[in-house]
């Protein structure tokens, strides 16, 4: 009789990246590094087995919401059951059972399941160097043009499309290989990844830019630096001048670049991120709403509550009650 791990225990993943760490934090913060960092809040209060998510080959499961983030790895998400909503840059996707989402490297994204029905999905991220080393012709000819393509930040693979169905098939093969972990399973996974990449080219050859847009990549790096600064200092008073000085760029360049790429102003992003961080603090029953609002950078409880209701469609107190249920 075969028993699934999910039948024995709950499987969850962390929602924060390393930028949320705090040197003087009270709690251990487990990331992909060998040694745990520190953080001022906690997300779980239970006995857990923690498995690092990143590396040369990164295959993992998510359960529930996860924060807006980006990473240098390519990501594929396949929905086995239920529905999911993804925001990728300025695009919104609603994934249904049997559909697969491709998210390119260095692309901002966040996702959540969108109804009360149980959602089961497989999220696979892998480092592009797993396909080939930078010095290899394969990397320069077939990997870089995809990674740097402005027209290929994300797309949904539909099972009704013959070529896109082949991509889905390879993703499911990789999931199966990882679950079984037979002898040489890593080689099997690499074989399927190379095949997956080949099909990717067949489907989107017209969208892939052979001449790499280096300027676009520089813009991506700039946006990442801005968000990293915000994630580190969100609880403090942040001005455009602070951010621009940190990046050694002008205020107008800082503001314009962010708004053009993220489709929202830096100020709006800061407010979103503060509300997002307050969700974790609301799990701590010892903290009052006032304390939480101050910890995430709001000087007024009423303003925090007003914004919270705007974004979450409920008050902080109502959200906290939901956590008890």
**Alpha carbons 20 and 114: distance in angstroms, whole number:** 26
242, 299: one domain: yes
Within 8 A by CB and 6+ apart from 241, the residues are 251
DSSP 200: H
Residue 289, pLDDT score: 94
**Structural domain boundaries, residue 32:** 1-52
- Tell me the chain's radius of gyration from C-alpha atoms: 21
Per the domain annotation, does 84 fall within a domain?
yes
Contact 52, 107 (CB under 8 A): no
- Give every residue of the chain whose pLDDT is below 70, as ranges: 1-71, 90, 113, 115-117, 150, 207-217, 324-325
What's residue 217's pLDDT? 64
Q: End of a domain among 142, 171, 204?
A: 204
Asked if residue 209 is part of any domain, the answer here is no
Does one domain contain both 272 and 294?
yes
Q: What is the CATH number of the domain that holds 76?
A: 2.60.120.280
Domain boundary among 160, 179, 204: 204
CATH number reported for the structural domain that contains residue 229 in this entry: 1.10.10.60
Contact 240, 251 (CB under 8 A): yes
Tens-place pLDDT, residues 33-58: 444 544 544 444 444 444 444 433 33
List Cβ neighbours of 201 (8 Å cut-off, separation of 6 or more): 142, 146, 208
CA–CA separation, 193 and 245 (whole Å): 42
């Amino acid at each position: 009789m075969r028993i699934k791990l999910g039948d024995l225990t709950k499987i969850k993943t962390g929602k924060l990246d390393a930028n949320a760490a705090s040197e003087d934090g009270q709690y251990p913060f487990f990331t992909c590094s060998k040694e745990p960092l520190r953080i001022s809040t906690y997300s779980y209060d239970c006995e857990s087995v923690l498995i690092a998510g990143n590396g040369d080959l990164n295959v993992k499961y998510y359960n529930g919401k996860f924060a807006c983030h980006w990473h240098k790895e390519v990501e594929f998400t396949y929905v086995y059951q239920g529905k999911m909503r993804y925001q990728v840059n300025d695009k919104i996707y609603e994934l249904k059972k049997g559909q697969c989402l491709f998210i390119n490297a260095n692309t901002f994204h966040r996702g959540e399941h969108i109804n009360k029905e149980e959602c089961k999905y497989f999220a696979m991220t892998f480092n592009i160097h797993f396909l080939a080393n930078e010095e290899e012709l394969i990397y320069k000819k077939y990997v870089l043009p995809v990674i740097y393509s402005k027209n290929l930040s994300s797309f949904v693979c539909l099972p009704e499309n013959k070529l896109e169905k082949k991509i889905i098939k390879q993703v499911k093969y990789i999931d199966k290989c990882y679950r079984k972990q037979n002898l040489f399973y890593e080689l099997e996974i690499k074989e399927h990844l190379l095949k997956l990449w080949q099909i990717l080219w067949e489907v989107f050859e017209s969208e892939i830019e052979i001449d790499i847009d280096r300027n676009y990549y520089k813009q991506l790096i700039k946006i990442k630096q801005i968000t990293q600064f915000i994630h580190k200092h969100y609880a403090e008073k942040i001005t455009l001048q602070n951010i621009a000085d940190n990046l050694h760029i002008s205020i107008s360049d800082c503001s314009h670049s962010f708004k053009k790429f993220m489709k929202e102003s830096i100020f709006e992003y800061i407010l979103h991120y503060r509300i997002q961080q307050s969700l974790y603090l609301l799990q701590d029953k010892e903290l009052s709403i006032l304390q939480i609002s101050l910890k995430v950078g709001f000087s007024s409880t009423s303003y925090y509550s007003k914004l919270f209701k705007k974004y979450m469609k409920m008050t902080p107190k109502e959200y906290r009650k939901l956590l008890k249920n």
